Amino acid sequence: MKVAVKLYAVLRCGRFKEKFLDYPSGTTVGDVITDLKLPPEHVDILLVNDTHVDFEHLLEENDVLSLLPMVEGG
């Protein structure tokens, strides 16, 4: 199944901004994070089709997965 993956801020470093990737049915958000070799502790906001989800959320064909780091600053 095709999934659009969007990375934000420091998660883009050495990677990509947006990419369409193929995954088998049954793939979770956590599986994608592992596949992209992102440290899970650095991924704080997980969105699928603009809705907050968790690492166990099952992805579906044509989902848009957005991964954001913890927001810092002041």
Q: Please report where in the chains the tokens 């848009």 appear, as a residue.
A: 64
What pLDDT was estimated at residue 39? 92
Tens of pLDDT, residues 11-50: 998 999 999 999 999 999 999 999 999 999 999 999 999 9
As given in the structure block, the two tokens for residue 59 are: 């992805």
Show the domains of the chain with their CATH numbers. Answer: 2-69 (3.10.20.30)
- Please check whether residue 51 is in contact with residue 19, taking contact to mean a CB–CB distance below 8 angstroms: no
pLDDT at 1 over 60: yes
pTM to 2 decimals? 0.92
